[in-house]
Structure 1
Amino acid sequence: MAGSLAYFNNFLSKQPALSSFGVMVRKEVGDHIRSWRFIVMLLLILFTFAGTMYVSLSNLGQVARNFNDPDHDFIYLKLLTTSDNSLPTFHIFISFLGPLLGIALGFDAINAEKNNGTLVRLLAQPVYRDSLLLAKCYAALLIVGTLFLSLVLLMIGAGLILTGVPMEATELYRILTFVVLSVLYVGFWLSLSICLSVAFRHAATSAITAIGIWLFFTVFYQIIVNMIVRAILPDPASLQAEQVIAYNNLLLSFLRVAPSQLYTDAATTLLMPSVRSLGPLTMEQMAGAIPTPLPFKESLMIVWPQVTGLVAASTVCFAGAYYMFMRREIRT
């Protein structure tokens, strides 16, 4: 940390035209990419990406010949959604590994600086508190966005070389939107971990708390919701068709409190154009429907509530971190 402060002071004195925010972002990016925890997470994501791409490419010919699938023409989307049940698809892996990446990048953003005694020295420079907090969040999101975009470009390049099929514009729009969605999903866990790093003094406490929240929403939340709904509401087997649909919609509404459910719903709709609804439909609603892929704009309208939910949750967590950090008294 002392070396980072020396670099900060030296660089700021040599680059008067560069703002303190830009210097801090550059410093945070350098610290992240040189840290062992980011290298481990990077290797883990690369291995899972390589495994899912190998499985997808191995089964791509069979999927392309399946004319019963309305999405069989979208070759590049199939690279992200095809699996032979030996490995989950890539967006399922991201729903599991994305929170760990966000937590790893933010659980000690503030308390590590304070415990090492560098926070006071850093704020003694011509640096605002909000600039420090924004720089830590922006640098982590910049790394995550670059990582996901690089993986997607590698996937597109490999698909173009192996298949020779040109990419359609709607596939490019959907894949880039999927990248933005993945960054937003990781950004929520990053904001939560930064908020916990401000709230707790020790980095270990903030890391354990963030991992506990992730485990709760990933493992236990669905079990608890199912138990509560079954205890309060009648058995679905005894309900009529309209009541069963209302029952399932209520259950889905509770499950969508979990960020992983919001991300999975949105990613599935974007990568599978034939998905027309994220909830149960009646026979009247399905009457006359043609099983064809939806335009990109209509798929985006379906997932807009999920996207705004992730953005709102991230904003609330970051606002909490901002409020606590701006009101905290920092002493040597």
Structure 2
Amino acid sequence: MKSQVAYFNDLFSAGSKSTRTGSLKPANPFWVMVRKEVADQVHSWRFIILAGLVLLTFVGSMYVSLSNISKAVADARDPDRLFLYLKLLTITDGTLPPFHVFIGFLGPLLGISMGFDAINSEQSNGTLIRLMAQPVYRDTVINAKFVASLIVISTLFLSLGLLMIGGGLIITGVKIEPSEFIRILCFVALSIIYVAFWLNLSILLSVKFRQTATSALTAIAIWLFFTVFYQILLNIIIKALLPDPGLLSQDQLQSYNGIILTFLRFVPSQLYTDATSTLLMPSVRSLGPLTMEQMAGAIPSPLSVRESLLVVWPQVSGLIAATVSCFALSYYWFMRREIRT
């Protein structure tokens, strides 16, 4: 209770200072709320548990990768064998999936846990109406909650990326190439965008529903649908509507596979998997079926960072568009929402 009183006092003093002119630099209510939200997120048990799971899977994946790195580098058939630090994020012996596969599974849970009660818990506890009584703008509340959660997520993934690079330098003694460092940073940024989508979706549901249990269950149901049931329903619909692929010609088979890939890319996890596979495996040249004419004259060599980014830009722009759309809708609903006890 004392921390809540101090928080409202800070907000009131920040709003009061912003209306006066003086020698003191006025405090910004937005950053007061961001600091409070960051502290709440970091000290909450649900974040500690999920961050611990992410860290545990990271350590397990790195252990498996380091145990098999010598075999991967010695394999002359692997075009990516020279990218040592990228191999740390991709190789596996079958006991544990690579780290980016774990992020594709645990990332949505992390985002949902940080945003499903962002607004409705404040209203059910009676603190939202007290917050609106302070000299702050309404949009400051939802902006601060999103920015605070994004800061926590960014710090977590950036720390893991730097930890992987530092551990690789200490254990292997091999210096990291600039292209590998850029690819790892792009992977970290893509992971942040992916988790931010689920964070914004959970905030949207928190604005829409007044009960925290309803918003949490709805977010988990959406995640389960895209993770488990979407591909099952898609296979049933394809078998019912499209002809048998064994009876198709080469051109028709390419169109058939293109249709399947198009519908699979409505799934955020598929966009994330496609983009991370291309960024962490420079030998991947395309994310769709290629004809013999397109493959003619292609040199089997790794792509540059710029070329890999051009390949994955549709997936990245799709995730960004979905993230911005969810935040814009939650912003619109919250600004028009009636706040009362």
TM-score normalised by the chain length of structure 1: 0.98
Q: 1:21, 1:171 → 2: CA distance?
A: 37
Residue 43 of structure 1 corresponds to which residue in structure 2? 52
Residue 144 of structure 2 corresponds to which residue in structure 1? 135
SS at match of 1:59: helix
Q: 1:3, 1:146 → 2: CA distance?
A: 28
Residue 264 of structure 2 corresponds to which residue in structure 1? 255
SS at match of 1:87: coil
Residue 334 of structure 2 corresponds to which residue in structure 1? 325
Q: 2:305, 2:277 → 1: CA distance?
A: 13
Q: 1:87, 1:294 → 2: CA distance?
A: 27
1:101 CA displacement: 0.2
- In the alignment, does 2:168 pair up with 1:169? no
AA partner of residue 123 (structure 1):
M
Matches within 5 A, 1:156-195: 156-195=165-204
AA partner of residue 280 (structure 2):
L
Aligned residues: 331
- In the alignment, does 2:254 pair up with 1:245? yes
1:202 CA displacement: 0.5
Structure 2: stretches of 5+ with no match in the other structure: 18-25
Moved more, 284-293 or 229-238: 284-293
Structure 1: stretches of 5+ with no match in the other structure: none
- In the alignment, does 2:29 pair up with 1:11? no
Residue 38 of structure 2 corresponds to which residue in structure 1? 29
Q: 1:207, 1:300 → 2: CA distance?
A: 34
Deviations 1:104-150, CA, capped at 9 Å, x for gaps: 00000000000000000011111111111011011101100100000
- In the alignment, does 2:320 pair up with 1:311? yes
Residue 145 of structure 1 corresponds to which residue in structure 2? 154
Q: 1:81, 1:209 → 2: CA distance?
A: 32
**Are the equivalent residues in 2 in contact too, given 1:77–1:272 (CA < 8 A)?**
yes
Residue 214 of structure 1 corresponds to which residue in structure 2? 223
Q: Show structure 1 runs of 4+ deviating over 6 A.
A: none
Deviations 1:287-309, CA, capped at 9 Å, x for gaps: 22221110000100111111110
Moved more, 243-252 or 11-20: 11-20
1:4 CA displacement: 4.1
Q: 1:234, 1:127 → 2: CA distance?
A: 60
Q: 1:140, 1:171 → 2: CA distance?
A: 28
1:14 CA displacement: 6.3
Find the partner of 1:75 among 75, 84, 101: 84
**Are the equivalent residues in 2 in contact too, given 1:5–1:122 (CA < 8 A)?**
no
Q: 1:222, 1:119 → 2: CA distance?
A: 40
AA partner of residue 5 (structure 1):
Q
**Are the equivalent residues in 2 in contact too, given 1:273–1:294 (CA < 8 A)?**
yes
**Are the equivalent residues in 1 in contact too, given 2:8–2:131 (CA < 8 A)?**
no
Q: 1:208, 1:14 → 2: CA distance?
A: 38
Q: 1:324, 1:53 → 2: CA distance?
A: 43
**Are the equivalent residues in 2 in contact too, given 1:4–1:27 (CA < 8 A)?**
no
1:51 CA displacement: 0.3
Q: 1:34, 1:325 → 2: CA distance?
A: 26
Percent of aligned pairs with the same amino acid: 63
* CA RMSD, 1 decimal: 1.1
Q: 2:173, 2:292 → 1: CA distance?
A: 41
Q: 2:309, 2:76 → 1: CA distance?
A: 25
**Are the equivalent residues in 1 in contact too, given 2:46–2:113 (CA < 8 A)?**
yes
- In the alignment, does 2:244 pair up with 1:235? yes
